[in-house]
Structure 1
Amino acid sequence: MKYNRLYAAFIFAFLAGCSGDGQYKEALLPQIDVNEEYPEKEIFLQDVADIEYIPLETNEEMLFQGTIAAVSDKGILGVSQQGGKLFLFDRDGKAKNLICRKGDGPEEYNVIQRVDVDWQRGEVYVLGSPTKVYVYAFDGTYKQTLDTKANIRQGDMFNFSADKLILFKEKANVGKEGEMIAYCPIMLLDKSGGNIDSLQYVKTWDASLSIVIEGNENMKAYLWCEVMLGQGGETYLNDIASDTIYRINKKTNGLFPILLRTPSVRDSEGGKYYLRLEGVTSRYYFLKCQISSLDMTDMVIKDDKSYSLVYDRQTGEIFRPTFRNKDFPSEEWSYTIRSNGEKDCVYQTLESFALKEALEEGQLEGSLKTVAQGLDEDDNPVIMVVRFR
């Protein structure tokens, strides 16, 4: 069936593992047609959200250049791949601790494939190899190493609950002619070590974002795409090989469907785009229709037809968004931190040197202008917190 526009579809979904009541229930799920021409819509953030700017403190030890891995009402965690450093700030941006345990010793990580934090337990978790999670206290003290007993996809490890991490395993085996052997990829790992459980999600097929190198048909690269998303205290499963996006229920460890895509990703027309969940608030699902194959010439991706979408959970509207910040109206806003932080909050990193340039050009207004006036261009970045109402 071809869907030319969004409409609500009533489906019967088996929610025994999702709701915990063991019954069939009628679920109202939005459907996204990845081939649909959805309308464009411009929204000023201040009309739908409250904005906060947090300058990260700069000192000789805490010179931070990297990415923000986690933001919450308890603190902020930054990661610098150069040197393998972890930076901890409090919620107001005050520098707290620097953790650097990169090395070849038994208490050290070789690389940082993924990092997350449990603010209540005071623990930082580093996926430091395909099979090892290193656990440190906030002061950098080594606590233990958790053995996953399986290769974990780079980037797919999150703080799931008070006593569990959630991870996504790489495909277990490949059968004849390259066919995937079905397996359960979602793992719950006990933070105290030892106990490993698998969720009842069976993976039978895989999909990859591919890059074709023009002029060399035999040369192909692949783009990595996260399978899970932690947002607002919840964890979501967004396997691009699936037609359904799920929320993972913490009480039952079941899968609760929240969104459907059409046409199927396995269809020739549907397979041109993958649907990616980029963020969740009480009001919006932030989505991306990612084109599945990209050409590259001179190491530059060309003709990328990927596009962003927003599903409005209040109105059922789907549109191609242009978000603008009244404090920086010349720039289109696009959040860049996928962090399991406060409910209804999404985040963006604003580099100090870019803010100083915008200030000199008269592009800043309001509280962002005030913050920028107190910065030096070499200062640590500013975290923009967008709290949707």
Structure 2
Amino acid sequence: MKSMYSILFILLLFMAGGEGNKQSADDFITVDVTAKYPYKKLILQDFMDVEYIPLETNDEFVCGNFVRAVGRNHVIVTNRSNDGNIYVFDRKGRALRKINRKGQGGEEYNGLSSIVLDEDNNELFINDSYSNKIQVYDLKGNFKRKLSTNKDFLFVDMYNFDEEHLICHDSFNDNSTVAFHAGQSFMLISKLDGSISKEIQIPYEEKKSIVIKTPKDEKTGLYHAFMPSTVHPIVPYFADYALNEISADTIYCFSDHMMKPLVVRTPSVCSMTPERFLLLSLLTDRYYFMEAITKEIEFSPTDLVYDKQEKALFRYKVYNSDYTNDKEAFLKSTPLNGEIPSCQYLEAWELVQNYEGGRLKGKLKEVAAKLDSEDNPVIMLIKHKK
């Protein structure tokens, strides 16, 4: 297996060609995670559409800022505490209903690891990963069915793949030095019963983990674990998905049930101590946004972008043009879907301060003019241009 993998990696590097930050015209790119690339300044609205959704605030709908899913007609938001509340808004931000089915019963969930919205079938998939189950409800909160998952899996990242399947990532496999499950980290599971329909094969030489564990405390018997908050193993890429197996030197695009190399990193992750990982953030029709991050407790990232038009790599900063000052846009939030690869929440009190200080313009200024400092946050959707 090791020799086959080494041959594959060498072939990919040979085919990629190019030198410095310039790339060849092949379908995939190579990234030297140790290189010093030049800086590039980008304006978000030049390459993405931005939509602001002020969430309605009332006595029942005072909610947090955890955007779980966005569809054509709905926005699903929760608090970051494990209170079980699921807030359903429409795309204008009007409050529709609050769902709470938290509990220990057969039709309830104990936690909310992730939520998948399937508007075509009027369904919410509530991923209660530590209880090894996915509860399915309609958009009014009525229980429909339970998907039981293998206790050796920990599904956190999960997306609506097609009419019959969810695409999932097993965090146990990916982030443990000794995997609970000896198979692959990525799989398609049935929306009907949770059974595995397909394990997606990604070759790698040696299992790696991005988690840092401290030595066990002799008094308590406990240890602390650290990992960056911007690890997104599954990144929607229009109608496809980019799959980031951190143990591999190639990031693949999973399209029509076929694997296609998207990014090849060098040097090999197996050759580095400490390891330096390459993580995807956001993919557009022109740019691949990534970060190179060394396995150290500080987790200081180097933000990288590949410009497909210039066929070159850069370090980058992206700014939101709806601010009069240089306000950076955060592109590393958990991806939502193929139409909306990223989102931010903007606290109402901060927007009110910026509005009063004359630091807003355009659509954001219009939204902020109607806010109270104690309102629910404004959701900023970062969407592909049409």
Q: In the aligned structure 1, how far is the partner of 2:270 from the partner of 2:180?
A: 15
Q: How far is 1:61 from its partner?
A: 1.7
Q: In the aligned structure 1, how far is the partner of 2:244 from the partner of 2:53?
A: 30
Are residue 87 (structure 1) and residue 87 (structure 2) matched?
Answer: yes
Give the residue type in structure 2 aligned to 1:101.
R
Q: In the aligned structure 1, how far is the partner of 2:331 from the partner of 2:137?
A: 29
Aligned 1:51-130 pairs, distance under 5 A: 51-82=50-81, 83-130=83-130
| 2:285 equivalent in structure 1 | 282
Contact 1:73 1:342 in 2 (8 A): no
Q: 1:373 to 1:158 in 2, by over 3 A?
A: same
Give the residue type in structure 2 aligned to 1:317.
A
What's the CA shift string for 1:169-225, capped at 9, x where partnerless?
35579xxx95998423322211122642222415663322244769x9996523164
Are residue 223 (structure 1) and residue 224 (structure 2) matched?
Answer: no
Q: How far is 1:141 from its partner?
A: 0.4
Q: In the aligned structure 1, how far is the partner of 2:134 from the partner of 2:197?
A: 16
Contact 2:155 2:170 in 1 (8 A): no
Are residue 333 (structure 1) and residue 339 (structure 2) matched?
Answer: no
Q: Which structure dedicates a bigger proportion of its chain to helix?
A: 2
Q: In the aligned structure 2, how far is the partner of 1:55 from the partner of 1:194?
A: 35
The match for 1:311 among 303, 306, 326 is: 306
3-state secondary structure, aligned to 1:386: strand
| 2:319 equivalent in structure 1 | 324
Contact 1:350 1:382 in 2 (8 A): yes
**How many residues are aligned here?**
359
| Identity %, equivalent residues | 31
What's the CA shift string for 1:28-47, capped at 9, x where partnerless?
31111111111111122233
3-state secondary structure, aligned to 2:269: coil
Give the residue type in structure 2 aligned to 1:50.
D
Q: In the aligned structure 2, how far is the partner of 1:194 from the partner of 1:306?
A: 36
Q: How far is 1:162 from its partner?
A: 1.3
Aligned 1:1-389 pairs, distance under 5 A: 5-8=20-23, 28-82=27-81, 83-130=83-130, 131-170=132-171, 182-193=182-193, 195-201=195-201, 205-211=206-212, 221-223=225-227, 225-249=231-255, 251=256, 253-268=257-272, 272-294=275-297, 301=298, 304-328=299-323, 329-335=325-331, 337-341=333-337, 343=339, 346-389=342-385
Q: How far is 1:278 from its partner?
A: 1.0
Q: In the aligned structure 1, how far is the partner of 2:169 from the partner of 2:151?
A: 10
Q: 1:321 to 1:311 in 2, by over 3 A?
A: same
Contact 2:88 2:98 in 1 (8 A): yes
Contact 2:202 2:248 in 1 (8 A): no
Q: How far is 1:144 from its partner?
A: 0.7
Unpaired runs of at least 5, structure 1: 11-26, 295-300
Contact 1:231 1:338 in 2 (8 A): no
Contact 1:53 1:371 in 2 (8 A): yes
Q: How far is 1:140 from its partner?
A: 0.4
Q: 1:327 to 1:363 in 2, by over 3 A?
A: same
TM-score normalised to the size of structure 1?
A: 0.82
Give the residue type in structure 1 aligned to 2:242.
Y
Contact 1:235 1:248 in 2 (8 A): yes
Contact 1:311 1:318 in 2 (8 A): yes
Q: In the aligned structure 2, how far is the partner of 1:161 from the partner of 1:282?
A: 22
Q: How far is 1:245 from its partner?
A: 1.0
Give the residue type in structure 2 aligned to 1:338.
T
Give the residue type in structure 1 aligned to 2:349.
F
Give the residue type in structure 2 aligned to 1:278.
S
Q: CA RMSD in A?
A: 3.0
Q: 1:203 to 1:323 in 2, by over 3 A?
A: same
Q: 1:104 to 1:363 in 2, by over 3 A?
A: same
Give the residue type in structure 2 aligned to 1:386.
I
Q: How far is 1:168 from its partner?
A: 2.3
Q: In the aligned structure 2, how far is the partner of 1:180 from the partner of 1:108?
A: 26
Q: Which structure dedicates a bigger proportion of its chain to strand?
A: 1
Q: 1:94 to 1:180 in 2, by over 3 A?
A: closer
3-state secondary structure, aligned to 1:327: coil
Contact 1:208 1:222 in 2 (8 A): no
